[in-house]
Amino acid sequence: MKKKKKIKKLKKPTYPQKLNREDYFKCPVWFANEPQFVNDLNRASDKYILASRKNIQPDIDKRNKLNKTKGDLGSVYHSSTLIGDPAFKDLTNYIGATSHNLLMEMGFDMTNHQLFTTEMWVQEFAKNGGGHHTLHTHWNGHMSGFYFLKASDKTSMPMFEDPRAGNLMNLLPEKDKTKITYASTQVHYKAQPGRMIFFPSYLPHQYVVDLGYEPFRFIHWNCQAIPKGVLNVVQEK
């Protein structure tokens, strides 16, 4: 009789007991509490909000007449530019210096670029509620941010969304939505007077619907880094 060949048992695959992790393509958001600007900038921004109210009041009246409603439900009062107004100079300088440092912290070489605060405006949501902003980015900036003048736990707040389009293609359910994890796709930031938030301009963000319980007012800005060579050409012309 032929001897049966012994079948060799396959060795169990071995796996590393511990994997080393490296995180790539991080997207930072910074915040600080800077209440020293609140009182002065609330007063300085009153005239801008008042002017915006006057500008859009005819549209509000027309809508109310058509829908047989009252009040400013859903309105957002958006100012003209604040750049150049001396009342906002200290804030503008703070934003510019901080944004420059944050871009360098992110790893960008700013040697041959000069950073400008190219846009700045103040907004206030409707007294009757309904004010909000849909999801968007600021394609024409490198660093953006908010500074809250009137806000509380009862007002609207900013919400940031995962900027990685590929990550949204095959989403799995989150295990615990009360925690910020690698599975998270949205992050809310509570608004309070004096809180300042900086973030890369490519980060998608929106404002959740305000219910009109308390006033909600904030300043928004964009900073753009422009090559110094371009500036020289413009100045020569």
Q: Give pLDDT tens digits for 155-209.
A: 999 999 999 888 888 889 999 988 999 899 999 999 999 999 999 999 999 999 9
Residues in the chain with pLDDT values less than 50 = 234, 237
Instruction: Give the start-to-end residue ranges of the domains of the chain.
Output: 30-63+75-164+185-236
Query: What topology does CATH give the domain 30-63+75-164+185-236?
Result: Jelly Rolls (2.60.120)
Helix (H, G, I), strand (E, B) or coil at 188: strand
CA separation for the pair 195, 35 (Å, rounded) = 7
Helix (H, G, I), strand (E, B) or coil at 160: strand
Question: Which pair of tokens denotes residue 81?
Answer: 């530019």
CA separation for the pair 148, 229 (Å, rounded) = 36
CA separation for the pair 188, 154 (Å, rounded) = 14
pLDDT at 15: 74
Q: What is the DSSP letter of 74?
A: T
Name residue 227's beta-bridge partners.
113
Q: Provide DSSP, 86-138.
A: GGGHHHHHHHHHHHHHHHHHTT---TTEEEEEEEEEEEEE-TTS---EEEE--
pLDDT at 80: 96
Q: What is the DSSP letter of 175?
A: S
pLDDT at 3: 62
- CB proximity list for 30: less than 8 A, separation 6 or greater: 102, 197, 198, 199
